[in-house]
Homo-oligomer: A and B are copies of this chain.
Amino acid sequence: MLNIDWKPQRNSSTALYRQIVDYIKEKIGNGEWTVGTRLPVQRELAKIFEVNRSTVIEALDELKADGLIEGRGKKGTVIINNTWSLMASTPAGNWEHYIKNGIQQPNLPTIQIINKLEYSDNIIRLGTGELSPELFPEEMMKNVFSTISNKIKSLGYERPKGLLYLREIISQHIKKFHINASPSSILIVSGSLQALQLISMSILKPGSTVLVEKPSYIKSLHVFESWGTKLKGISMDKDGVKLNEILKNLDNTTSLLYTIPTFNNPTGTIMSQDRRDDLLNLCTRERLPIIEDDAYRELWMEEIPPDTLKSRDKNGIVLYMNTLSKSLAPGMRIGWVIGPEAVIERLGDVKMQTDYGASSISQYAAAEWIKSGLYEAYLKKLRRKLKLRRDITIKILEKYFSDIALWNIPKGSFYIWMRLNSKINMTKLFYRCCKNGILINPGYMYDFNTNYNIRISYSYASIQDLQFGLKKLSDIIRNSHFDLE
């Protein structure tokens, strides 16, 4: 779909339709819109350009007369030529079939829409998995910038595993979680999503199976599947992933277990200490390596969560990943992976072939945040603020949803996993919400089975928006009850 962010100028001496013709000709002339590109339908164009439909028709007629576009009835208007190819024999630059090639699958449509709509001005984001800009520690970040601006003497290509200075600091930092790892067993990544990419590119055999919690964050991504790896969902109870279910699903294609033991995304489940120990025993016995995704650990509210799996892993079967995205700022794009040195070496070698490493500026900033103690100080305050937001959001839910949904009260992280009482069409609900200026993360992004859940995030929207948006969501569900079934 074309992304048109331009409008003709009303106070210009050039007629509106002429401005539109010129704009489209420029796009075609620059090769930005290639032969085969489909224009939005007339009604849509009129809306985008904020003009009457007749103005759009006038413009399109001229472009047709020039031989640049062709109307194909209901299918809309297509670019069939360009100024240059009118002279040449056949149109070139038809990328259509290229876009359909390639190993990496496109994102799910729902996610593509979310990725785009998140940046419209008038949308209320009820599902966004990040901290609100309101919570951003602006002053502390200024401090960090000022320190690193004196520290950075050059910014060359970095070592395969990342800035040694940062790895040394992380090696100290993780002692807090009872993890012992030297800098050479730590890989710096551009966020933990990249860690998952590297793992799937580097050490997973196409055709193998990854066991994941049901529901799980990973379900919303193609990160493993694009590489020919299959996902198998394992159910959970209140203590975490079910061990007998793991055993039942193990076969000789099984390559890994991916788990978020601390504040599972989306359910908020915390794996109990006993379950952790039993899981480690089982996986050690079955030689099933584990990826422990610990992205939300720091975001507890009442009490420190049980120990990391990694801290009790004496056999190097756990690949541990963490990130600053959830606790500090996703825009830093800094995460780390800890594991057996040989695995870390392999991942580092592949990282060098992927992007030559993470931004050194971000790496210096991350190092400074942790080393200075600012990170700890900030986290303390953040926990209080998140708790407040959670409590307010629960109040709002009690007011508007108590008769139409059920939910848990999370002990940390960002999410409330809310289940609607009635079986409505969740895809339709998603689109209906979009139209009404509300962005939700429907449960089907996370689960393997049909479900009637919504992941509500209390970390992102302002309290006012949460208030307004959740009431609206409740209204939409109530009013559309029948035609959404």
A residues lining the B interface (CB < 8 Å): 1-6, 26-27, 29-35, 37, 82-85, 88-96, 98-99, 101-104, 106-107, 112, 115-116, 118-119, 130-131, 133, 136, 138, 141-142, 145-146, 148-150, 152-160, 164, 180-185, 189-191, 193-194, 197, 200-206, 208, 221-223, 226-228, 255, 283-285, 287, 289, 313-318, 325, 329-334, 339-343, 345-346, 349-350, 352-362, 365
Cα-based distance from A42 to B401 in the complex (angstroms): 69
Give the nearest-CB partner of A150 in chain B.
Answer: B142
Q: Are A314 and B101 in contact (CB under 8 A)?
A: no
Q: Known pairs A90-B287, A138-B153, A155-B331. 18 more at Cβ < 8 A? A: A1-B345, A29-B314, A30-B182, A31-B315, A32-B185, A32-B316, A85-B284, A85-B315, A88-B285, A93-B315, A98-B204, A98-B343, A101-B202, A103-B201, A104-B202, A106-B346, A355-B355, A361-B362
Please judge, given known A-B contacts A99-B203, A99-B342, A102-B203, whether A330 and B155 are in contact too, CB under 8 Å. Answer: yes
Tell me how many chains of this kind the complex includes: 2
* CB atoms of A104 and B331 under 8 A apart: no
A160–B107 CA distance with the chains assembled, in angstroms: 11
List residues of chain B with CB within 8 A of the CB of A180.
Answer: 26, 30
> Contact: B3 with A340, CB < 8 Å?
no
Q: Which residues of B contact A37 (CB under 8 A)?
A: 340-342
Decide: A98 and B203 in contact? CB cutoff 8 A.
yes
Q: Is B330's CB under 8 angstroms from A84's CB? A: no
8 Å CB contact of A107 from B194, B222, B341, B349: B349
In the bound assembly, the distance between CA atoms of A20 and B356 in angstroms comes to: 34
In the bound assembly, the distance between CA atoms of A193 and B5 in angstroms comes to 29
Question: With the chains together, A138 CA to B358 CA distance in Å?
Answer: 20
Contacts A/B (CB < 8 Å), 15 sampled: A3-B345, A27-B341, A30-B316, A32-B185, A88-B285, A91-B315, A92-B284, A98-B255, A99-B203, A101-B203, A112-B349, A130-B157, A154-B329, A155-B329, A333-B360
Q: Decide yes or no: A356 and B191 within 8 Å by CB, A119-B159, A346-B99 being known contacts.
A: yes
Q: Inside 8 A of A346's CB, which chain B residues have their CB?
A: 99, 102, 106
Smallest CB gap from A363: residue in B? B331
The 7 closest A-B pairs by CB, nearest first: A155-B331, A31-B316, A331-B360, A84-B314, A133-B154, A359-B359, A145-B149
Taking CB atoms, residues of chain B closer than 8 Å to A149 are 141-142, 145-146
Query: Which residues of B have CB within 8 Å of A357?
Result: 333
**Chain B residues near A352 (CB-CB < 8 A):** 107, 115
The docked-state distance in angstroms from the alpha carbon of A350 to that of B99 is 11
Task: Please report the C-alpha to C-alpha distance between residue A473 and residue B302 in the assembled complex, in whole angstroms.
Answer: 64
Residues of B within 8 A of A349 (CB): 106-107, 112, 115
Compute how far the CA of A221 lies from the CA of B349 in the bound complex, rounded to whole angstroms. Answer: 12
By a CB distance below 8 angstroms, the chain B residues around A31 are: 313-318, 339-340
Closest CB in chain B relative to A335 CB, distance in Å = 9
What chain B residues lie within 8 Å of A202 (beta carbons)?
Answer: 99, 101-102, 104
Which residues in B have their C-beta under 8 angstroms from that of A182? 6, 27, 30, 32
CA–CA, A287 and B353, complex, Å: 29
B84 touches A315 (CB 8 A): yes
Least distance between A433 CB and chain B CB atoms (Å): 20
Q: In the complex, A228 Cα to B148 Cα: how many Å?
A: 42
Bound together, the chains give a CA A200 to CA B32 distance in angstroms of 21
CB of B191 within 8 A of CB of A355, answer: yes
Contacts of A318 in B (CB 8 A): 31
